[in-house]
Chains A and B, each alone.
Chain A
Amino acid sequence: MRRIAAAVCLGIVVAFLVAAALLLHPFGHPPSQMDDYMIENSQNETGTNNVVAAVLFDYRGFDTLGEATVLFTAVTGVVMLFRVVKKKEEEHK
């Protein structure tokens, strides 16, 4: 019974993967006009030669703020974790 359920689940996943592969846009034809807009206007609007940097810090700056927050949380967590260990060692002495 479990084998049948597993086979059905696998079939569904494979069907979705094949459907997604068939529905991909052809290479070089992006689905929206946003890509062409950024490539053509990033040098005029942001004065940045590197379009990736223009997207990262200007057009999608809020996303980068989230990334920086993720890094800040990770650093805070690591430092907090190792500090707690130190404090407990001192208490046991």
Chain B
Amino acid sequence: MSKIVRTVSNQLILLVLIFGLYIIMHGHVTPGGGFQGGAIVASGTALIIVAFGSYEVQKRLKERHLSILESGGALIFIGLAFAGMATVFFYNFLVGSPVFGHIPPFGPNPGDIWTGGVVPLMNIAVGLKVLAGLSAIVLVMALASSGEEMEE
């Protein structure tokens, strides 16, 4: 694309990434969560691919690494689910513990990031999984449509 598009998306990608990570991190306090934030970060990847072309992006962002990240997110998610297995599958065992253990007062309140038990950790795991998976889809399809050789 032209130099204007490249410059603007170079500045914009930082805001997109920060907003996506904010949506993932605050999934248990504000609307949003892992799926939505991951989709926002993947749209940032699509923006960079449109601006710079898939050949330039492929040098920095390998599909193999994204696959590892996605599988890692899925493993963290299932591992957290199995960690509550002492009571029941998907039991929230971190409520009341020092890690993400605060309990908010009933009703509307300002919100506390250090609450939620396993919910924020699962949000991060699902967010990793979704951002890596959708970025891999966008990158692989862009590489295939541009006819570039994919680096295994």
CA distance A1 to B122 in the complex (A): 57
Q: Is the CB of A72 within 8 A of B119?
A: no
Tally of contacts, chain A with chain B, CB under 8 A: 120
> What is the size, in residues, of chain B's interface with A at 8 Å between Cβ atoms?
50
Determine if B92 and A58 form an interchain contact, defined as CB atoms under 8 angstroms apart: yes
Q: Is B101 interfacial (CB 8 A cutoff)?
A: yes
**How far apart sit A54 and B27, CA to CA, in the bound complex (Å)?**
10
Q: How far is the CB of B69 from chain A (nearest CB, A)?
A: 11
Cβ A45 vs Cβ B95 within 8 A: yes
User: Could you say which residues of chain A place their CB within 8 Å of the CB of B89?
Assistant: 61-62
B contact residues around A50 at 8 Å (CB): 27-31, 33
From 37 to 68 in chain A, residues with beta carbon under 8 angstroms from any chain B beta carbon are 40, 43-50, 52-54, 56-58, 61-62, 64-65, 67-68
Known: A53-B119, A61-B81, A72-B70. A45 touches B92 (CB 8 A): yes
Q: How many residues of A are counted as interface, with CB atoms below 8 angstroms from the partner's CB atoms? A: 31
Whether A72 and B140, one on each chain, are in contact in the complex, defined by CB atoms closer than 8 angstroms, is no
A68 contacts B31, C-beta separation under 8 Å: no
- Which of B34-78 touch A at CB < 8 Å? 35, 63, 67, 70, 74, 77-78
Q: 19 A-B contacts, Cβ less than 8 Å apart? A: A44-B106, A46-B92, A50-B29, A50-B33, A52-B31, A53-B119, A53-B123, A54-B119, A57-B122, A62-B90, A68-B77, A68-B129, A71-B130, A74-B137, A75-B136, A75-B137, A79-B136, A79-B137, A82-B140
Residues of B within 8 A of A (CB): 27-31, 33, 35, 63, 67, 70, 74, 77-78, 81, 89-90, 92, 95-96, 100-107, 109, 111-112, 115-119, 122-123, 126, 129-130, 133-134, 136-137, 140-141, 143-144, 149-150
